[in-house]
Amino acid sequence: MIPLRENIRNMAGYVPGFQPRDGQAWIKLNTNENPYPPSPRAIEAIRAELAEDGAGLRRYPDAASMAARDEAARLYGFDPSWVIMANGSDEVLNNLIRAFAGEGDEIAYVHPSYSYYSTLAAIQGARVRTFGLTGDFALKDFPARYPGKIFFLTSPNAPLGFSFSLETIEDLAGRVAGMLVVDEAYADFAQGNALELVGKCQNVVVTRTLSKSYSLAGMRLGLAVARPEVIAALDKIRDHYNLDRLAQAAARAALADQDYFRTCVARICETREWFSTGLRDAGYQVIPSSGNYVFITPPDRDGARVYQSLYTRRILVRHFTDNALAHGLRVSIGTREEMETTLAALKEIG
Ligand SMILES: Cc1ncc(COP(=O)(O)O)c(C=O)c1O
C-alpha cells in the first residue's frame, strides 16, 4: 500500500458541478456561471498578451500579479498591501486554512453552504464543525465565543441565496476567536457587502471571485482583501506564480471595465427577479436571492423529480442530495431567453 497520509486516504474528494462536453446542446444552469461573455477589454488584453505568436509566454509572469492587485485595490478602496490575487477564490480559501488551521485544529462553516471548506479542512487534517440555520436564516446555536481557527461565512449564502446583514457579520467577527472569512463569491449581485469590516475588525477577511460577476470562471481568478499581515502570510504560502500571464491581463482589464460589469450584473439581477416572480406565480417557493441563482422548491417538495424532468429537456440545474436541500433545486440565472424556456418547462413539469 502506498504510504498516503491517513486523512488523504480517508477523505472523499470534492465533486464539482457537472460540465457536459457538448455544452452548446444544454441550457446550462448548474454551476452559477455568467451567461454573458467577459468584457471585450479582457479579451483584448489576453490577445495583446499573445501578440507576436505568444512570444511573451516564454517568460514567467509577474509573481505578485501586481497590476491586477493594484486594479482590485483601487476598485475596492484599499491599499494594494491589503489585497492578494488568487487562482480562483478556491485557492485563497485553501491558503487561508493552511495559514490558520493546523492538523487537529477546528474550522467551521454554515450548513448548508459551500461544502468545499470541508474538503480543504480534510486535506489539512483539520476538524470541521457546522452551524445550522433557523427558519428565517439566522445562525443556530452560535456561541458567544467561537474558539475555532476559522469561521467561513458564505454571504450571499450558496445555494440558498440570502445574505447576512452587515450588523450580523460584525457581531460574528466579535464572537469568533480566530478569523472570520466572509466568502463573497456572489456579493456583486447583492445590495451590500462586508468590505468595510476588513478595515474595522482585525480578524475579517473577504474573498471574491471573478468567476461569476466577471464571466471569467474559465480563467480561474479570485482575490482576498485582508490586513497586510494576513496578505503577507498568504503571499508566503501561495504558488509563487499562481496567476499566469493571460489571467493577470484578463483580471486587470475586466476589473477596470466597470461599465460593462455593471450592465451584465444589472441584466442578471433583473432576470432573476422576473424568473422568481414567474415561478412563485406557478406555485413554487423561491427564496429571495442576492446571488446569480435562486433556490426553488416545487409544490411536492421533490427536487430530484424536477431535476430529472428538466434534464430530459436538456436543462441542467443543481440538485443536492443533502437532506437540508434535497427538496429543492439551485437554478443559475442565464439569459432572459434561457430563463423563459426554463420557466415554461417548470410550469409544465409542475
Ligand atoms: C460560495 C463559493 N465560494 C467560492 C467558489 C469558488 O469560486 P472560484 O471559481 O473563484 O474558485 C464558489 C464557486 O462556485 C462558490 O460557490
* 135 CA → ligand 1 middle, Å: 25
The verdict on residue 1 lying in a domain is no
In order of 50, 134, 152, 236, the CA distances from 144 in angstroms are 54, 17, 16, 33
Q: What is the pLDDT of residue 171?
A: 98
Q: Strand pairing partners for 331?
A: 294
Shortest-distance atom of ligand 1 to CA 211 = 9
The verdict on residue 50 lying in a domain is yes
Q: Strand pairing partners for 27?
A: 315
Same domain? For 189 and 289 the reply is no
- Best of 162, 210, 211 for a ligand 1 pocket test (most atoms within 8 Å of beta carbon): 211
The verdict on residue 68 lying in a domain is yes
332/350 Cα distance (integer angstroms): 19
Average pLDDT, the chain: 97
Shortest-distance atom of ligand 1 to CA 32 = 14
Contact 241, 61 (CB under 8 A): yes
Q: Are strands 106-110 and 127-131 parallel, antiparallel or unpaired?
A: parallel
In percent, the amount of the chain with pLDDT more than 70 equals 100
Same domain? For 321 and 191 the reply is no
DSSP reduced 3-state for 197: helix
Same domain? For 51 and 77 the reply is yes
297/294 Cα distance (integer angstroms): 10
pLDDT tops 90 at residue 52: no
- Give the end of a domain, one of 257, 282, 310: 257
Q: List the domain range (segments joined by +) for residue 22.
A: 6-30+259-349
Same domain? For 19 and 71 the reply is no
Same domain? For 55 and 164 the reply is yes
The verdict on residue 58 lying in a domain is yes
Q: What is the pLDDT of residue 18?
A: 86
The verdict on residue 134 lying in a domain is yes
* 203 CA → ligand 1 middle, Å: 21
Same domain? For 118 and 216 the reply is yes
- Best of 14, 84, 85, 116 for a ligand 1 pocket test (most atoms within 8 Å of beta carbon): 116
* 300 CA → ligand 1 middle, Å: 30
* 77 CA → ligand 1 middle, Å: 23
Same domain? For 231 and 102 the reply is yes
The verdict on residue 179 lying in a domain is yes
Same domain? For 278 and 292 the reply is yes
pLDDT tops 90 at residue 22: no
Same domain? For 88 and 125 the reply is yes
The residue written with cell numbers 501561495 in the block is 238
* 80-84 contacts at long range (C-beta below 8 A, 24 or more positions apart): 81/228, 81/231, 82/198, 82/225, 82/226, 82/227, 82/228, 82/231, 83/223, 83/224, 83/225, 83/231, 84/223, 84/224, 84/226, 84/231, 84/234, 84/235, 84/238
Residue 235 confidence class, pLDDT cut points 50, 70, 90: very high
- Give the end of a domain, one of 257, 288, 323: 257
* 287 CA → ligand 1 middle, Å: 20
- Chain segment 76-124, per-residue pLDDT in tens: 999 999 999 999 999 999 999 999 999 999 999 999 999 999 999 999 9
CATH number of 247's domain: 3.40.640.10
Would you state the cell numbers that stand for residue 130, as one nine-digit string? Answer: 457546522
Rounded to 10 degrees, what is the CA torsion of 45, 46, 49, 52?
-110
pLDDT tops 80 at residue 294: yes
CATH number of 275's domain: 3.90.1150.10
Same domain? For 221 and 339 the reply is no
Total number of domains constituting the chain: 2
**Residue ranges around ligand 1 (CB below 6 Å):** 32, 88-90, 114, 154, 158, 183, 185, 209, 211, 217, 222
Same domain? For 266 and 253 the reply is no
Same domain? For 307 and 224 the reply is no
CB atoms within 10 A of CB 283: 12
Overall pTM surpassing 0.95 (yes/no): yes
- Give the end of a domain, one of 257, 280, 309: 257
* 209 CA → ligand 1 middle, Å: 7
In percent, the amount of the chain with pLDDT more than 90 equals 95
The verdict on residue 35 lying in a domain is no
The verdict on residue 124 lying in a domain is yes
